[in-house]
Structure 1
Amino acid sequence: MANWIFLRGLTRESRHWGDLPVFWTRHGLGQPLLIDLPGNGQARSQPVPATVRGMADAVRQAAHASGTRGPWHILAMSLGAMVATDWAQTRPEDVAGLVLVNTSMRPFSRPTQRLRPQSWAAIAGMAHHWHDRARCERTIHRLTCERLDTRDADLARWVEIGESAPVTRDAAWRQLLAAARFRARPTAPACPTLIVSSDVDRLVDPQCSARLAAAWHAAHLGLARHPWAGHDLPHDDPAWLCETVGAFVRSA
C-alpha cells in the first residue's frame, strides 16, 4: 500500500483536515502522514522560510524523520500543493504520486486568478483583526466552504485550533509572500499527478487548475472537477475526494 503525506495550505494545520483522514482509511487508501508547514500546527515554532523551496526542504526532513519510508504519494492543497510540486520537481526520487487540490502557481495563472479580487478586502480585514480568531475563522469559512450544515461546529473547532496553536501574523505574511513568488518548472512532475479543482472556489479561480493541467499535458496527468464544493474541498466533500483519488490510483 502506498505511503501518503497530507499537506494543508496557508496558515492551516493537520487538524483542519477534519474527517478526511478517517474517510481516507475507510476507502482503503491507508493511514496518511500529516505534516504541518513551518509556522503552522506542530511546526509553528519553526522559522517560516521565505521560499516554497525552503518549505519543501522542511517537509522533506519531517517525512524522513517520521520513520515512514518513501517514495511517498502526496495529497496537498493550495500552498501545500506548491510545496509538493516543488518537492516532486526537485527530488523526483522521493515522490511517487501527486494529488494537487485547488492550487495555483506561476507562470500558469495571473495574480487575479490566483487570489480572486473579491476576496482581497476580506483578507485585509483578517490581517487587521488577526487576534480575533472568531472573526477570522468566520471569514475563512465564508471564503472557503460551501457546505454549511456543520458551520457552527466547524467554527467552534477552528477557533479552538487557532487558540491552542496560534499562527503569528508574521508567519502568515511570510507564507503568503512565498506563495506569491513561487514559480513552478514548466514541465510536469515525473510522477502520476491528479489536479483537482472546485467549480465554486471563491478564493482561487478554478481556471488555475485547468491552465496547470493544460500546460503540463502528459499521459500520466489527470484533471478532476467538483461541481459545488468550495476552496476547502476536503471539508465540503471528503467522500468524493477519496473516491476520485482511489479511482486515479487504480488507473495510474
Structure 2
Amino acid sequence: MSHAQTRSRWILLRGLVREARHWEGFPARLAEALGEPARALDLPGNGELWREASPVSIDAMVESLREQLQAQESPGPYRVLAISLGGMVALRWAQRYPAEVECLVMINSSLRGIAPFYRRLRPRQYPRLLMGLLPLGHEQRERLILRMTTRQRDDLSALARRHAEWQQQAPVGRANLVRQLLAAARGYPPPERPPACPTLLLTSKADQMVSWHCSRRLAKRYGWPLKCHPNAGHDLPLDDPEWVVAAIQTWLTESGLTRCT
C-alpha cells in the first residue's frame, strides 16, 4: 500500500486535559464526510501519553506531536483540526514548520497578546478549575468539566460515566493539569504574519470558557474567515458535530481545497 493511501490527512488535537477519545467518534464522521483519512493524537499527559509529564511550553507540545508522527512513519503535509489549547499548538506548528501543515481549522482557541486574559479564560470558571485540583471522584470531575464545556447535550450523565471510565484508565494527574494550564497561559508571541496555510476559525457564541471574541480578534488580525455557532458551548464538536463538518466542507470547497494533493 502506498504512502498516499496510508498517511493521515487530517490530524485532530484536543485541548486541556482531554484525550483522543473525547472526540466521541468525530474523526470517523469527518473522514466519511470529506473522503479523507482523519485521526486524533494525544498531547503529552493525556490519553495514551498519560504517564508523560505535560510540557509547560507550546513549543514542546509541537515537538511531541512531530515525534509521534515521525515514529509512526506518517508523512505530511497534514490538515489539522484543533480545539482550544490544541488550536494554540496547531497554529504554532504551522508557524514553525509551514511545510508540514497544509491547512488549519481552529475551534474556540485564543492567543496571548490577541485577547485579554479574562476573555481567554472566563473568570467565572476559575472556581471550577480550582475544584478540579481537589481529590474528586472521576465521574464528579467529568460532570464538572461537561458543565463548563457543553450547552446542547441532553445525555450528560451517560457522557460523564463514559468519560470517567476513560479517566480511570488514563488519569490526568493534578500536576499535569497545572502544567497544561501554565502552558496555555504562557502561550507564545502572536505571529506578526499568519502562517501561509489557509485557516478557518470556528467559534461558539455561547462558549462559557473562552469568549468568542478571541476568535473574532484572531479573524480580524489575520484576515481569516470566521464562522460562529449561535448557541453551542466550548466543546463545539461535541455539541454540534454536524455543524462543524458542514462548516469545514463549505470552507474547503470555497477555498479550492476539496481535492487532496
Which residue number corresponds to residue 25 of structure 2? 19
Contact 1:143 1:202 in 2 (8 A): yes
Which residue number corresponds to residue 47 of structure 1? 53
- Tell me how far apart the structure 2 counterparts of residues 66 and 248 of structure 1 sit (CA, whole Å): 29
Q: Secondary structure at the match of 2:154?
A: coil
Runs of 5+ in structure 1 lacking a partner?
none
Contact 1:144 1:230 in 2 (8 A): yes
Question: Is 1:75 equivalent to 2:81 in the alignment?
Answer: yes
Contact 1:7 1:36 in 2 (8 A): yes
Which residue number corresponds to residue 104 of structure 2? 98
Which residue number corresponds to residue 228 of structure 2? 225
1:177 to 177, 182, 187: 182
Runs of 5+ in structure 2 lacking a partner?
256-261
Which residue number corresponds to residue 196 of structure 1? 202
Which residue number corresponds to residue 86 of structure 1? 92
TM-score, normalization: structure 2?
A: 0.91
Identity %: 38
Q: Deviations over 1:83-139 (max 9, x none)?
A: 00100000001000000000011110100000001111111111123x421221111
With 55-64 and 85-94 compared, the bigger mean Cα shift is at: 55-64
Task: Specify the code of the residue in structure 2 equivalent to 1:190.
Answer: A
CA offset at residue 29 of structure 1? 4.1
Question: Is 1:250 equivalent to 2:253 in the alignment?
Answer: yes
Question: Is 1:205 equivalent to 2:211 in the alignment?
Answer: yes
- Tell me how far apart the structure 2 counterparts of residues 162 and 134 of structure 1 sit (CA, whole Å): 9
- Tell me how far apart the structure 2 counterparts of residues 185 and 128 of structure 1 sit (CA, whole Å): 37
- Tell me how far apart the structure 1 counterparts of residues 168 and 239 of structure 2 sit (CA, whole Å): 23
Task: Specify the code of the residue in structure 2 equivalent to 1:116.
Answer: R
Q: Secondary structure at the match of 2:225?
A: strand
1:7 to 8, 13, 25: 13
Which residue number corresponds to residue 148 of structure 2? 143
Contact 2:28 2:38 in 1 (8 A): no
1:234 to 214, 218, 237: 237
Q: Deviations over 1:149-195 (max 9, x none)?
A: 22122111110111010011111111110110012323211100001
Which residue number corresponds to residue 164 of structure 2? 159
CA offset at residue 15 of structure 1? 0.2
With 230-239 and 117-126 compared, the bigger mean Cα shift is at: 117-126
CA RMSD, Structure 1 to Structure 2 (Å): 1.4
Structure of greater relative contact order (alpha carbons < 8 Å, 6+ residues apart): 1
Q: Secondary structure at the match of 1:179?
A: helix
Q: Deviations over 1:176-220 (max 9, x none)?
A: 101100123232111000011001000000000000111112xxx
CA offset at residue 48 of structure 1? 1.8
Contact 1:145 1:236 in 2 (8 A): yes
Q: Secondary structure at the match of 2:201?
A: strand
Contact 1:3 1:68 in 2 (8 A): no
CA offset at residue 49 of structure 1? 1.6
Which residue number corresponds to residue 116 of structure 1? 122
CA offset at residue 223 of structure 1? 0.8
- Tell me how far apart the structure 1 counterparts of residues 205 and 72 of structure 2 sit (CA, whole Å): 35
- Tell me how far apart the structure 1 counterparts of residues 173 and 85 of structure 2 sit (CA, whole Å): 17
Contact 1:200 1:229 in 2 (8 A): yes
Question: Is 1:33 equivalent to 2:39 in the alignment?
Answer: yes
Task: Specify the code of the residue in structure 2 equivalent to 1:66.
Answer: Q
Q: Secondary structure at the match of 1:121?
A: helix
CA offset at residue 222 of structure 1? 1.4
- Tell me how far apart the structure 1 counterparts of residues 140 and 208 of structure 2 sit (CA, whole Å): 18
Contact 1:29 1:246 in 2 (8 A): no
- Tell me how far apart the structure 1 counterparts of residues 39 and 109 of structure 2 sit (CA, whole Å): 20
Which residue number corresponds to residue 258 of structure 2? none
Corresponding residue pairs, total = 248
- Give the 4+ runs in structure 1 shifted more than 3 A: none
